[in-house]
Amino acid sequence: MFDSFTLVAATADLDDEPTARGVADLVEFRMDLAADPVRQLAAYDGELPLLVTNRPAWEGGEVDGSDADAETARLDALEAALGNDAVAAVDIELAALRREERAVRVAEEAEALGVDVVVSVHDFAGTPSERAMVSLLSAAASAGDVGKLAVTAEDRGDALSLLSATNTADAAGERVATMAMGEAGRHTRAVAPVYGSKIGYAPVDAAEATAPGQYDLATLDELVGELSSR
């Protein structure tokens, strides 16, 4: 997975899966935004494979990760999800891998089960320098199967820097996924795949976006299809 562009339908409600079928390649289950994620996963009988994400508040999500116990509980829930046969990929934050042994163990467990690891970095405050982004992408890509960087663009210059960093990482043979959040970065969701980004996220319904500036699934599918060879 992730060798070519992968379109991901992001949702907190696995009942959305039939609507994503035929368009998305994968469903991202945002466990941190979901009501009763354990029950939803156990009951899942959809066709699309799942990417599970349990994003902590310290990285822009909803689940508590404010102390060691909360982080252990969050990562335990993520690890438990790996046992579900529908789970093909897991998202783990680069910052968690850097500071928590428990996160490294979840990544190792995923690898042992043949579950791909998306190592993610989010910047909700702005866009780091191009050099810093290249280095973050490299660190994230080498810590898992794909390195993902989502930044917040304030202007076109930020969007261009992200595209350029994506191009550099791709040319270096790194498997990466990039997107700029916010209005100024919106077009990067369609354009970054041209520069090597391997994942695009979109909600099935634009009203249920999981990040600022996302296109709805059908629109992203169409835009990426027009611009790349999807």
Ligand X SMILES: O=C1C[C@@](O)(C(=O)O)C[C@@H](O)[C@@H]1O
Which of 181, 204, 217, 223 is close enough to bind ligand X by CB under 6 A? 181
Which of 27, 115, 149, 150 is close enough to bind ligand X by CB under 6 A? 150
Q: What angle do CA 18, 22, 28 make, to 5 degrees?
A: 60
- 111-145 per-residue burial string, b: 16 or more CB within 10 A, e: under 16: eeeebbbbbbbbbeeebbebeebbebbbbbbebbb
> Binding to ligand X (CB under 6 A): which residues in 92-131?
120
| 217 near ligand X, judged by CB under 6 A | no
CB 201, min distance to ligand X, A: 3
Q: What angle do CA 83, 91, 82 make, to 5 degrees?
A: 0
Is residue 148 helix, strand or coil?
Answer: strand
DSSP classification of residue 111: H
Choice among 97, 127, 148, 170 that is catalytic: 148
Of 55, 100, 105, the C-alpha closest to 79 is: 105
In whole angstroms, give the CA distance from residue 215 to residue 190: 9
CB 53, min distance to ligand X, A: 5
Query: Which residue stretch of 72-80, 81-89, 92-100, 210-218 sits at the interface with ligand X (rule: CB under 6 A)?
Result: 210-218
| Cβ distance to ligand X smaller for residue 11 or 168 | 11
Has 198 been annotated as catalytic? no
In 10 A of CB 82, how many CB atoms?
17
| Cβ distance to ligand X smaller for residue 59 or 100 | 59
| Cβ distance to ligand X smaller for residue 46 or 212 | 212
Contacts of 114 (CB under 8 A, 6+ apart): none
55 annotated binding-site participant: yes
- Tally the residues of the chain: 230
5 annotated binding-site participant: no
In whole angstroms, give the CA distance from residue 163 to residue 158: 9
| 190 near ligand X, judged by CB under 6 A | no
**For the range 65-72, what are the long-range contacts, defined as Cβ-Cβ under 8 Å and sequence gap of 24 or more?**
71/96, 71/100, 71/102, 72/102
| Cβ distance to ligand X smaller for residue 152 or 228 | 152
| 134 near ligand X, judged by CB under 6 A | no
> Binding to ligand X (CB under 6 A): which residues in 48-87?
53
| 223 near ligand X, judged by CB under 6 A | no
Specify binding-site residues for 3-dehydroquinate: 28-30, 55, 189, 210, 214
* Residues in contact with ligand X by the rule CB under 6 A: 10, 28, 30, 53, 91, 120, 150, 179, 181, 201, 210-211, 214
Specify binding-site residues: 28-30, 55, 189, 210, 214
List the catalytic residues.
122, 148
